[in-house]
Amino acid sequence: QNYALANTDYQRKFMNEKIKHSYQVWGAGNVLLKHEECFRDFDEEERKYYQAVVLLHDVARFREPLEKEKGNFIDHGVVGTQMLVQRKFFKDDADGLAIKHHGHLIEKLYEDSLYQQLSENKKKQVRELAFLVRDADKMANFYLLVSDFEIMRNIFFVPGRFENPFCKEPSNKVLNDFMAHKSINRADMNSLIDFTLMLLAWVFDLNYNHSFVLVKRWKIIERLLPFVSSFFKDGEDKFYQTELDKFINARLKKSSI
């Protein structure tokens, strides 16, 4: 429906990219559904439901370029959840939290009033679904970054969005959060080096063991760093790679949840 309303080449390209991304996230989600212990006992109906949640995680993305043309900003996770709730898509409205907060820092999920009202068992179920969406989304983006960086450079690495784009010193808050193995808040970024560390810090927000298996198997960090090395001071990319490798190897020795 939104695609039919697209009236510019940019809008159509944006939506085509989001269709491609949605299927890539769906594919990554299927891999996690197959390999993670918490999903092993799912029947076919439950598996298809989780697959559908993953596939539709960006459903409101298709409205973004149309709203942008009108000067409006929408939070695609929040709006997408509202759209799906209105269509009675979710078996339980609490499942919508997985889409609502997939683009936020994980603390937003835990602070959500609906989440806080849930039983401990339901909280665990919501976390499992939310982690599935978040991990699959990041793994799809990681894969696209290393397989077609030139396309992603034009989408992600836009100097005009930063106060001091070509500064090679990361902001203190960004660096401290990275070294603490925390996700980085977009509001704290002032430069392309900050943005690069934010992307690399997606690793710290992965939850499932097989997500880390894929990061290692696809050599995400080793393949990504050469593309972004120009944003670092000479040799600093190796420092960050060591820190990331240490974290990934430690997580591979632990269970997923």
What's the rounded Cα separation, in Å, for the pair 15 and 116? 35
Please write the tens of the pLDDT for every residue from 165-211. 999 999 999 999 999 999 999 999 999 999 999 999 999 999 999 99
The model's pTM is 0.92
What are the structure tokens assigned to 133, written together? 């969406």
Provide the pLDDT for residue 257: 44
Backbone angles phi, psi at 34, to 5 degrees: -75, -35
The residue type of 155 is I
What are the structure tokens assigned to 3, written together? 């695609």
* Residue 1 predicted with pLDDT over 90: no
Write the DSSP symbol of residue 97: H
Provide the pLDDT for residue 63: 82
The answer to whether 39 and 98 are in contact (CB under 8 A) is no
Please write the tens of the pLDDT for every residue from 118-139. 999 999 999 999 999 999 999 9
Please write the tens of the pLDDT for every residue from 162-175. 989 999 999 999 99
Please write the tens of the pLDDT for every residue from 70-118. 888 999 999 999 999 999 999 999 999 999 999 999 999 999 999 999 9
User: 49: burial class by Cβ within 10 Å (0-12, 13-18, 19+)?
Assistant: middle
What's the rounded Cα separation, in Å, for the pair 199 and 252? 20
What's the rounded Cα separation, in Å, for the pair 180 and 67? 37
